[in-house]
């Protein structure tokens, strides 16, 4: 009798813990397709049989003819939005209902990570966004371009100095070294040449910090998705102590040096230092006023600490180091296997190349075919496979299609915007697997729904550094193609195979390519 009771209790417990949560979307009249108990839609990723990218595409294509579909990360419900119009409503028109990103790590799990611009929430995020935004204005980009162009020239000169006319290289490592040098210069005022000084500490620590494919980091991500409490008990953290100390000391020492020597630079660290001092002055002034007027400091922004500055520098570093270098790799790959596109791009570069100097900032920004190539590469290979939002105020998606019913979203529910899948939807892009820069020609670009093309996200929480990333990419390809053609080598995978082991979008065997000196 006891055994029967225990069996019944086990079945009931199994139902409430494993099965019942996966009925969440069906109760809200949202279609889901087949879901594996407990694992949700993550099962094949965990087995290493499917990449994160292909998981997103598989979920997107589960049910046709709908504007959104229900999905699950383990037992956590996620609403997958397929309609550009709904994306526009969520991310722009009704943004105040979806202000925050999903929390992967609780604030006390990793202080450096929890304070960065991606992780911050509500008013704290708005204050930090307005603080960091001046880093990426046109005037600041123009000033930084000089430093970026210098690093692009050094990058190309490294290969020009080789005696061979044909150089086989791993582009992932090469571009990582370039982006590391750019960040060192434009963010920290450091002079590093990672292609020549291959073992410099800045590059080595950057590689370690930005590598999210290690078993430890993947385990950390998955455990925090399953249970924050269990992950905390196990002592899991995204960054190792060595990585934290390196970055914290780098920022702290740079700030102290600049303050001591009264150095002012128009880079991210310099702007954050200015904001820190301005907030301190504002707080001091308003605290004095408060003696006469109660409540006058209610809207004063909170202090900006060295920890806050370090967190912003960290996320800028990770995005600039790994994501931007990955984008460069995909562009190089597509140019290598599409020589007609590369030939047309080289012709444009040759028309705009000054005789004995680097191209001006304006010249680079006005090269239309270079823009088209980059835009198409970001469509086909968006580094952000998905974007996410969290419901911060109750919201209802009203029915529009036949058979739809209102979907009432509650505070705390998660929204996924499947960027990669939307970019590969034939309803939006004819023959989506073809690399075709003509999609973005002046006459064709106007036919693209702006909310079906979102490589940097969309709305107020889009990627703040997108202009910096584009400038960095344009500079290196202008200088590289001025002297070299990019060609496939024997080890180049054609077609490219997406890695199943990496969390981010990358190639299965990296990016081995050849550089052939132009005559």
8 A C-beta contact, residue 318 and residue 209: yes
Q: Which residue has the higher pLDDT, 113 or 203?
A: 203
Sign, CA dihedral 287-289-294-297, equals negative
3-state SS of 127-138? HHHHHHHHHHCH
> What's the confidence (pLDDT) of residue 18?
63
Dihedral pair phi/psi, residue 24, rounded to 5°? -55, -50
21-286+300-517: CATH topology is Cytochrome p450 (1.10.630)
> What's the confidence (pLDDT) of residue 71?
93
Is 463 annotated as a binding-site member?
Answer: yes
CB atoms within 10 A of CB 372: 23
Instruction: Report how far residue 313's alpha carbon sits from residue 310's, in angstroms, rounded to the nearest whole number.
Output: 5
Report pLDDT digits (tens) over 95-125.
999 999 987 766 666 777 788 898 899 999 9
Report pLDDT digits (tens) over 219-233.
777 777 667 777 777
> What's the confidence (pLDDT) of residue 387?
96
> What's the confidence (pLDDT) of residue 98?
97
Confidence of residue 292 (pLDDT cuts 50, 70, 90): very low
Confidence of residue 19 (pLDDT cuts 50, 70, 90): low
Residue 295 has pLDDT above 60, yes or no: no
Q: Where are the domains of the chain?
A: 21-286+300-517
DSSP string for residues in 369-430: HHHHHHHHHHHHS-S-S-EEEE--S-EEE---STT---EEEPTT-EEEE-HHHHHT-TTTSS
Cα 390–394–396 angle (5° rounding)? 100
Could you tell me whether strands 512-517 and 387-390 are parallel, antiparallel, or unpaired per DSSP bridges?
unpaired
Percent of the chain exceeding pLDDT 90 equals: 55
Burial label, 433 (beta-carbon count in 10 A; 0-12, 13-18, 19+): exposed
Confidence of residue 392 (pLDDT cuts 50, 70, 90): very high
Residue 215 has pLDDT above 90, yes or no: no
Report pLDDT digits (tens) over 64-84.
999 999 999 888 899 999 999
Q: Which residue has the higher pLDDT, 243 or 162?
A: 162
Residue 290 has pLDDT above 50, yes or no: no
Highest-pLDDT range among 15-19, 44-48, 50-54: 50-54
Instruction: Report how far residue 470's alpha carbon sits from residue 467's, in angstroms, rounded to the nearest whole number.
Output: 5
Exposure string for 478-509, b = 16+ CB within 10 A, e = fewer: bbbbbebbbbeeeebeeebebbbebbbbbbee
> What's the confidence (pLDDT) of residue 22?
78
Please state, in angstroms and as integers, the Cα–Cα distance from residue 250 to each residue in 132, 190, 240, 261, 304, following that order.
Answer: 19, 10, 16, 17, 17
Instruction: Report how far residue 181's alpha carbon sits from residue 249's, in angstroms, rounded to the nearest whole number.
Output: 18
Report pLDDT digits (tens) over 125-170.
999 898 888 888 888 899 889 999 999 999 999 999 999 999 999 9
Residue 514 has pLDDT above 70, yes or no: yes
Of the candidates 36, 48, 41, 46, which has an alpha carbon nearest to the alpha carbon of residue 498? Answer: 48
- Owner of token pair 């210098």: 150
What are the structure tokens assigned to 468, written together? 């910096």
Confidence of residue 20 (pLDDT cuts 50, 70, 90): low
Q: Which residue has the higher pLDDT, 46 or 300?
A: 46
pLDDT, averaged across the chain: 88
Q: Which long-range contacts (CB under 8 A, 24 or more apart) does 273-278 make?
A: 273/309, 275/131, 275/304, 276/303, 276/304, 276/305, 276/309
Highest-pLDDT range among 33-37, 89-93, 211-215: 89-93
8 A C-beta contact, residue 407 and residue 30: yes
Confidence of residue 519 (pLDDT cuts 50, 70, 90): confident
- Least confident piece of the model among 27-36, 216-225, 320-329, 500-509: 216-225
Confidence of residue 13 (pLDDT cuts 50, 70, 90): low
> What's the confidence (pLDDT) of residue 35?
83
DSSP string for residues in 418-462: -HHHHHT-TTTSSSTTS--GGGGSHHHHTTS-GGG--BTB-GGGS
């Amino acid at each position: 009798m006891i055994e029967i009771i225990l069996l019944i209790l086990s079945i009931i417990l199994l139902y409430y813990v494993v099965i019942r949560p996966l009925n969440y979307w069906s109760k809200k009249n949202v279609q889901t397709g087949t879901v594996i108990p407990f694992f949700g839609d993550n099962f094949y990723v965990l087995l290493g049989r499917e990449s994160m990218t292909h998981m997103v595409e598989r979920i997107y294509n589960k049910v046709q003819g709908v504007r959104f579909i229900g999905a699950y990360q383990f037992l956590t419900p996620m609403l997958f939005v397929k309609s550009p119009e709904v994306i526009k409503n969520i991310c722009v028109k009704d943004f105040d209902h979806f202000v925050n990103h999903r929390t992967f790590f609780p604030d006390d799990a990793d202080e450096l990570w929890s304070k960065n611009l991606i992780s911050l929430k509500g008013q704290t995020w708005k204050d930090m966004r307005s603080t960091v935004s001046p880093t990426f204005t046109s005037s600041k980009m123009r000033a930084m371009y000089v430093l970026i162009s210098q690093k692009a020239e050094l990058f190309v000169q490294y290969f020009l100095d080789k005696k061979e006319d044909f150089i086989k290289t791993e582009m992932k490592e090469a571009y990582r070294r370039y982006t590391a040098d750019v960040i060192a210069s434009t963010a920290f005022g450091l002079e590093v040449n990672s292609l020549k000084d291959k073992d410099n500490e800045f590059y080595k620590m950057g590689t370690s910090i930005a590598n999210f494919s290690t078993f430890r980091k993947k385990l950390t991500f998955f455990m925090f998705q399953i249970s924050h409490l269990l992950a905390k008990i196990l002592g899991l953290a995204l960054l190792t102590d060595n990585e934290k100390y390196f970055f914290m000391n780098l920022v702290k020492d740079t700030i102290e040096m600049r303050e001591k020597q009264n150095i002012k630079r128009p880079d991210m660290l310099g702007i954050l230092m200015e904001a820190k001092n301005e907030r301190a002055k504002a707080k001091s002034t308003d605290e004095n006023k408060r003696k006469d007027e109660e409540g006058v400091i209610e809207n004063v922004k909170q202090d900006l600490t060295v920890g806050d500055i370090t967190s912003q520098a960290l996320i800028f570093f990770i995005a600039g180091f790994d994501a931007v270098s990955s984008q460069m790799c995909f562009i190089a790959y597509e140019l290598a296997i599409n020589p007609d596109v590369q030939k047309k791009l080289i012709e444009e570069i040759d028309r705009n190349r000054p005789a004995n100097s680097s191209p001006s900032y304006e010249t680079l920004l006005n090269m239309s075919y270079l823009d088209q190539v980059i835009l198409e590469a970001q469509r086909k290979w968006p580094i952000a496979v998905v974007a996410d939002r969290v419901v911060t105020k109750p919201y209802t998606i009203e029915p529009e299609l036949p058979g739809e019913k209102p979907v009432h979203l509650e505070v705390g529910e998660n929204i996924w915007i499947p960027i990669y899948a939307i970019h590969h939807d034939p309803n939006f892009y004819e023959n989506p697997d073809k690399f075709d820069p003509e999609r973005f020609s002046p006459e064709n670009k106007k036919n693209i729904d702006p909310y079906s093309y979102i490589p940097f996200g969309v709305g107020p929480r889009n990627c703040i550094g997108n202009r910096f990333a584009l400038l960095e990419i344009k500079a290196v390809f202008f200088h590289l193609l001025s002297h070299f053609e990019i060609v496939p080598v024997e080890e180049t995978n054609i077609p490219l195979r997406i890695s199943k082991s990496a969390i981010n979008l990358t190639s299965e065997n990296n990016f081995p390519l050849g550089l052939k000196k132009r005559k």
